[in-house]
Amino acid sequence: MSEPPQRPSVALLIETSNRYSRELVHGVRSFIQQRPGGWAVHLTEQGRGDVPPPWLARWEGDGIIARIENRRIENALRKKRLPVVSVSASGLAPDLPAVISDSASVGRLAAEHLIERGFRHFGYCGDARFAWSGTHGQHFQRTLAEHGFDCSHFRTARGDFADWKLEQRKLGAWLQSLPKPAGVMTCFDIRGQQLLDVCKRLGLRVPDEIGVVGQHNDTLLCELCDPQLTSVIPNPREAGYQAAALLDKMMRRGRVEARIYPIAATGVATRQSTDLVATDDPQLAEAMRFIRRRALEGIRVGDILEHVPMSRTLLERRFREHFERSPYDTIQYLRNQEARALLLNTELPVAEVAERCGYLSAEYFSADFKKHSGRSPSAFRDSARPR
């Protein structure tokens, strides 16, 4: 009898200290579970941006998936002369395929969320240590510009992070300079936590004066914040799965195209840091609060007018002026956001998702979801999960 084929030996140079990276590993595992024979995986504990682990020089394997965060890691990987797929947005090793979060979708979702909350003044707080932070800020600003809004950027330098007290003072001065209320995107959740801490020290009310949205949706970190942090939801499991699929192809067939393979963010997890209707118009604010409370109950515009008596024409005009959507479109937007969350995070049948989101039928839900998302509910669920 012939011996069974040897399983490929793969090293994962991915830190496990944050949720995004752990989810990357989950995605890799999903691919391994589907691959006949699987992989032999070498994964050790390390931190983001660490130097190459001592075992790497002696390790003999078939391929590597890595977070390439510095030149030393990049150079060590080149010496191995093995197939490598990057899962880092650092911009290093441009001659390797890289599977990363789609920055355009991250910036767009954050901007649209803050606009929907009623904010008309905006800021972006990045981190100079990470190249992708600037890219997220550019896409955030671009989406705001498309809606006619400006954006103030907090200017950082790499050396600022050595002195947190100095950084706090700089952040505080910048936050106080923003017109209020202001919606601020931070490049990732830790930065959001820092911003909320500075707001509390200065007595700036969140979200009444400053609304904050982070990125990565690290649930534990977001829920430890005070108030809890709203965050854009990336799709690292899909990124990990696709990185593994690319590496498998490279190990079996040779090279693949060395380009960026972007994985779109899937939505926004709304928490207390943006739980606001930012308007001085009490009728408009109450109408929006009513919609948020009742959108999933199948309400119509007539129900809003019964709750907040005014003419339909006036309500439509005020909504479009302040929220850039009609009341009807706002209801459909909130239904669509909840549907996306249910499709991604549950195994509920499409018909039950439709019912929970206030649609009269699964057919009408599917048509409306496709209108807003460009795909049917089933196709969206399939595309956003590891395949």
- Please compute the mean of the pLDDT values over residues 300-309 and round it to a whole number: 92
- CA separation for the pair 31, 69 (Å, rounded): 24
Helix (H, G, I), strand (E, B), or coil: what is residue 163?
coil
Q: Which CATH number fits domain 103-234+268-274: 1.10.510.10, 3.40.50.2300, 3.40.1280.10, 3.40.50.300?
A: 3.40.50.2300
Q: Residue 168's pLDDT is what? A: 92
Q: Residue 159's pLDDT is what? A: 78
Q: Which CATH number fits domain 9-101+236-265: 3.10.450.50, 3.40.50.2300, 1.10.10.10, 3.30.1330.10?
A: 3.40.50.2300
Structure tokens at 304: 């809003």
Q: pLDDT band at 4, cuts 50/70/90?
A: very low
Is 351 exposed, middle or buried (CB count within 10 Å of its CB: 0-12, 13-18, 19+)? Answer: middle
- Of 181-185, 231-235, 325-329, which gets the smallest average pLDDT? 325-329
CA distances from 176 to 169, 256, 282, 323 (A): 11, 49, 25, 25
Structure tokens at 110: 């954050």
- CA separation for the pair 257, 85 (Å, rounded): 11
pLDDT (tens digit per residue) in 138-183: 999 999 999 999 999 998 887 777 888 889 999 999 999 999 999 9
How many helices (H) and strands (E) are present in the chain, helices listed first? 15, 12
Helix (H, G, I), strand (E, B), or coil: what is residue 12?
strand
- Of 66-70, 96-100, 212-216, 329-333, which gets the smallest average pLDDT? 329-333
Contacts of 343 (CB under 8 A, 6+ apart): 350, 353, 377, 380, 381, 384
Q: How far is CA 33 from the centre of its chain?
A: 26
Q: Residue 2's pLDDT is what? A: 41
282-384 falls under which CATH superfamily? Homeodomain-like (1.10.10.60)
Q: pLDDT band at 239, cuts 50/70/90?
A: very high
Dihedral angle of Cα 70, 132, 160, 200, to the nearest 10 degrees? -130
